Structure 1
Amino acid sequence: DPQGELQGQNVLIVRYSVELTAARFGITVEKVNHLLASARAKMADMRITRPRPHLDTKMLASWNGLMLSAFARVGAVLGDEALLERAKQAGNFLKEHLWDSETQTILRSCCGGEQHELQQMSPSISGFLDDYAFIICGLLDLYEATFQTEWLQWAEELQLRQDLLFWDDQGGGYFCSDPSDSTILLQLKEDQDGAEPSANSVSASNLLRLSHYTGNQEWLQKSQQLLTAFSDRLARVPIALPEMVRALMAQHYTLKQIVICGQRDDSDTAGLLAAVNSLYLPFKVLMLTDGSPESFLCQRLPVLSSMFQLDGVATAHVCQDFTCSLPVTDPQELRRLLLDGATDS
């Protein structure tokens, strides 16, 4: 009580367990629980008569992007459908409430009203770099967890928009806010991964991953230019940018492309995916294709149309540096193949 506000008043605190309290006063545990429940009810009745404390109901696009990544990654690793459903709900929420399809702009935030309805500020605030970067990362993770290409398509769309709004053509990397906004006097590029990763650090990985998903070499070059823009900071204080160091390592080792040819809901496909998700593979992109030339991935990467299933069974192809291993159908064989590759890198 540093302010001395509670002098002479009782301050409720739990010091001992229910069992020790019952023994101290010579009563039963059931009696203690009954007394505590009665006391809580009386306090709740009194609390209702007081003004409610202010509640922060804002929902930030960037934070929801981070949450989306977490649910998608953990759901995929654990095979937890409930977590994957939450990830999909988060993706749908972002697209429905924090994406302006008319202006092709992410909105910074929305908030909950008194009746739990969603409200937008008027005028609405356009998203910053971290909103785009974190959502794109979440969408890529959500694709690798569900293999619903709608998330990959939206990630591609958002990356194009991010490039248009924030990319620095002169020095490389992304500004934190739109350079065309005349109300911002000083344009900054965040160069530290703190409680939240730097949006440029996340973008370096996003660009690399998207270049492998789409075959867009411009994104690979942008990722390299971004790392070059922060090279002095990386060389002097790498501990300040661990997420960007991870992106630099991914550039160095190159990403492993794991392509599963099969139907998403088939058990043999699920077995191969479980083998992949059972391993920690930080430098990889995971794709699922049924070989249809009309699919989003095959249109972006025509080489996928030449990959096939062996004997009608779900088949994995592992590629790196433009070289692919022999196709495998057994989950344990795929796991051994990925482990051997992990030791090489």
Structure 2
Amino acid sequence: MRSWQDGRANLLAYAEDYAALAELLLTLSELDDVSWLVSAREVIDELVARFADDDGGGFFTTAVDAEQLIVRPKDFQDNATPSENSLGSDALLRLAALSGETGYEDRAREWLRDMAPIMAEHPTAFAFLLGALERAALAPIEVAIVGERDDPARAALFRELAERLVPASVLVVAGPEQDGALTPLLADRALVDGHATAYVCERYACQRPVNDPKELRAQLDDALARRT
């Protein structure tokens, strides 16, 4: 629903509501608990099913089952808040990197290709969408950090990544009991010598696992250097 107060809901949610919620859930899956990825995928699949414009690309503002209008609107431009199409494109790309499923990426890239001419002509109108374009253009960097939740060593590895800018990256932080069921980034990600361990990967091809934040920093530096 679009709004809720005192137990009463009013108005069906718009595409931007779904897309913004998807971005939030993806961030929670990276920072808090990887199981949020299940909800993120459900919201994104619902966004595609109810709002996608399969003929013209992108997302309509209103759902397929909403009140029928003379013209079904579609918001392109980023204003004080990003448009549903900018949020949705970024969410699709992030989910693709976390899930390894290229269908999400293909849908986002189709919209970015369609929008490229107008973005080039009016870049200030598409601030958030340009961020999604950067994510699509750069080789993705995936980082998995595995360790017990209360382990200071896991926190130190996470802090090394959190305190720096790594564009077009995705992160999962999980306990050693997690496997690849939620994301292939966690498949066969064992602790090394029983300590919290970080894996730096590019399209799931990973460097050697490390326990030391300094080694993680060096691997991130190498991955970023390969982009130039």
TM-score over 0.5 (shorter chain): yes
Larger radius of gyration: 1
Indicate whether 1:138 and 2:24 are aligned: yes
What residue is the counterpart of 1:119 in the other structure? 7
Give the Cα–Cα distance (whole angstroms) in 1 for the partners of residues 204 and 30 of structure 2: 21
Q: Which residue of structure 2 aligns with residue 306 of structure 1? A: 188
Structure 2 distance, partners of 1:221, 1:267, is 39
- Describe the superposition over 1:262-287 as per-residue Cα deviations: whole angstroms up to 9, x where unpaired: 22221111110011111122311101
Q: Is residue 196 of structure 1 aligned with residue 84 of structure 2?
A: no
Aligned length: 227
Within a 5 Å distance, the mapping from 1:10-29 to structure 2 comes to: none
Change (3 A) 1:286 1:303: closer
Match of 2:61 in 1: 176
Which residue is equivalent to 2:215? 333
Deviation at 1:303, TM superposition (A): 6.2
What code does the residue aligned with 1:211 have?
Answer: A
Asked whether the equivalents of residues 255 and 283 of structure 1 are also in contact (C-alpha less than 8 Å), the reply is yes
Amino acid of the structure 1 residue aligned with 2:201: C
2:23 corresponds to 1:129: no
Question: Residue 253 and residue 190 in structure 1: after superposition, are their counterparts in 2 closer, same or farther (change >3 A)?
Answer: same
- The aligned counterpart of 1:229 is 114
For 2:37 and 2:204, the matched residues in 1 are separated by 22
Aligned partners of 1:179 and 1:187 also within 8 Å:
no
Q: Is the CA contact (8 Å cut-off) linking 1:208 and 1:251 kept in structure 2?
A: yes
Q: Is the 8 A contact 1:291 1:298 kept in 2?
A: no
Tell me, in whole angstroms, the C-alpha distance in 1 between the residues paired with 2:176 and 2:68: 50
- Equivalent position of 2:145 in the other structure: 260
Task: Determine the C-alpha separation between the residues in 1 that align with 2:79 and 2:168.
Answer: 22
Asked if structure 2 preserves the Cα contact closer than 8 Å seen for 1:261 and 1:309, the reply is yes
- SS for the counterpart of 2:4 is strand
Distance (Å, rounded) in 2 between the aligned partners of 1:236 and 1:194: 17
Classify the secondary structure of the residue corresponding to 1:192: coil
Displacement of 1:231 in angstroms is 2.4
* 1:320 Cα deviation from its structure 2 partner: 0.9
For residue 191 of structure 1, what is the amino acid of its counterpart? F
Deviation at 1:241, TM superposition (A): 0.5
Q: Report the equivalent of 2:37.
A: 152
122, 126, 129: which one pairs with 1:241?
126
SS at match of 1:317: strand
Between the aligned residues of both structures, percent identity stands at 30
1:260/1:288 contact within 8 Å kept: yes
Asked if the contact 1:291–1:304 (Cα under 8 Å) also holds between the matched residues in 2, the reply is: no
Kindly indicate whether structure 1 or structure 2 has the higher relative contact order, using CA contacts under 8 Å at least 6 residues apart.
2
Aligned-partner Cα distance in 1 for 2:53–2:125: 22
- Partner residue in 2 for 1:214: 99
Matches within 5 A, 1:56-95: none
Residue 148 of structure 1 deviates from its aligned partner by: 4.7
Q: Structure 2 CA distance, aligned partners of 1:186 and 1:195? A: 24
- SS of alignment partner, residue 218 of structure 2: helix
Residues in 1 aligned to 2:166 and 2:185: alpha-carbon distance in whole angstroms: 23
The 5 Å alignment of 1:245-324 reads 245-292=130-177, 295=178, 298-302=180-184, 304-324=186-206
What RMSD, in angstroms, separates the aligned Cα atoms of the two structures? 1.9
CA distance in 2, matches of 1:148, 1:302: 12
Map of 2:2 onto structure 1: 108
Instruction: Tell me the secondary structure at the aligned position of residue 172 of structure 2.
Output: strand
Which amino acid in structure 2 is aligned with residue 110 of structure 1? W
User: Which SS does the other structure have where 1:190 is aligned?
Assistant: coil
Mapped partners of 1:179, 1:238: distance in 2: 30
